[in-house]
């Protein structure tokens, strides 16, 4: 496994994340999220191999169980009960893609120049960690972007999951050699929050026939 492969994996996870955010069909978007999780799991496993940190394999296993099996299962089960097409997002497809790609470019440029501001050790300032850090922050921002611009409850949940995965990638990039990294990664799983959010969304859909979060505004005034 070379440095080059790790950078390729970083780019792959970015593409999968953008697909999960942009695909309008909710079922396909859930599958795209599954793809994103597979790459995430792959990145953790390859870092375990490259950094000779056996404990990371444990993290990749729990990541497999929660992010590849449980969360996509919950998402797909939820999708079965609601309409297949996403509620029109607040910002359209064209603009969204342009914004997201500029975001990616900005982050990669910023991290190339100013990595020393964030990375505490020298090893974290070099490739492939630098790309991973830039990628991680892009995924974090992507999640935030999804939360802010999407109206669909399912997409909101995907946004939250991306946000969390972004943080996990930052953790992996900054301290891949420590045992504690595994512990933090396993403990801070977002799966319980996803479960509760989808449970509430299902109830909301059953009562009102919509999962459009913008329409959930009875309480605004």
Structure tokens belonging to residue 178: 């420590």
Cα–Cα distance for residue pair 26/74, rounded to 1 Å:
13
Nearest approach in angstroms of CB 3 to another protein is: 21
Locus of tokens 């459009």: 212
Question: What number of residues does the chain have?
Answer: 221
Residues near another protein, by CB under 8 A: 117-118, 120-121, 124, 140, 144, 147, 153, 156, 160, 163-164, 166-167, 170-171, 174-175, 178, 180, 183-184, 187-188, 190, 192-193, 196-197, 200-201, 203-204, 207-208, 213, 216, 218-219
> Between residues 40 and 167, which has the closer beta carbon with respect to another protein?
167
> Between residues 94 and 218, which has the closer beta carbon with respect to another protein?
218
Nearest of 42, 26, 179, 24 to residue 89 by alpha carbon = 24
> Between residues 28 and 55, which has the closer beta carbon with respect to another protein?
55
Nearest approach in angstroms of CB 21 to another protein is: 15
> Between residues 72 and 166, which has the closer beta carbon with respect to another protein?
166
> Between residues 71 and 167, which has the closer beta carbon with respect to another protein?
167
> Between residues 15 and 183, which has the closer beta carbon with respect to another protein?
183
Q: Residue 7's CB: how many other CB atoms inside 10 A?
A: 16
Nearest approach in angstroms of CB 140 to another protein is: 7
Per-residue DSSP letter, 188: T
Cα–Cα distance for residue pair 17/11, rounded to 1 Å:
10
Element (H, E) at 208: helix 191-208
Nearest approach in angstroms of CB 51 to another protein is: 14
Cα–Cα distance for residue pair 58/134, rounded to 1 Å:
25
Nearest approach in angstroms of CB 152 to another protein is: 13
Nearest approach in angstroms of CB 208 to another protein is: 6
Concatenating the DSSP letter of every residue in 107-156 gives: HHHHHHHHGGGT-SSSGGGSTTHHHHHHHHHHHHHHHHHHHHH--BHHHH
> Do residues 182 and 56 lie in contact, with contact meaning Cβ atoms separated by under 8 Å?
yes
């Amino acid at each position: 496994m070379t440095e080059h492969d790790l950078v390729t994996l970083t780019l792959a996870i970015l593409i999968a994340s953008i697909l999960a955010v942009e695909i309008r069909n909710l079922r396909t978007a859930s599958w795209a999220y599954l793809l994103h999780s597979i790459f995430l799991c792959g990145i953790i496993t390859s870092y375990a191999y490259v950094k000779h940190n056996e404990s990371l394999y444990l993290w990749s296993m729990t990541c497999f169980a929660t992010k590849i099996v449980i969360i996509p299962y919950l998402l797909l089960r939820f999708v079965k009960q609601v309409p297949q097409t996403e509620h029109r997002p607040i910002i359209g497809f064209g603009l969204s893609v342009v914004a997201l790609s500029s975001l990616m470019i900005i982050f990669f440029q910023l991290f190339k120049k100013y990595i020393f501001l964030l990375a505490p050790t020298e090893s974290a300032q070099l490739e492939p960690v630098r790309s991973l850090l830039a990628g991680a922050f892009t995924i974090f921002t992507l999640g935030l972007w999804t939360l802010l611009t999407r109206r669909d409850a399912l997409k909101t949940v995907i946004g939250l999951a991306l946000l969390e995965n972004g943080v996990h990638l930052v953790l992996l990039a900054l301290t891949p050699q420590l045992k504690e990294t595994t512990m933090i990664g396993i403990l801070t799983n977002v799966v319980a929050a996803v479960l509760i959010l989808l449970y509430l969304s299902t109830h909301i859909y059953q009562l009102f026939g919509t999962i459009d979060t913008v329409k959930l505004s009875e309480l605004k005034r």
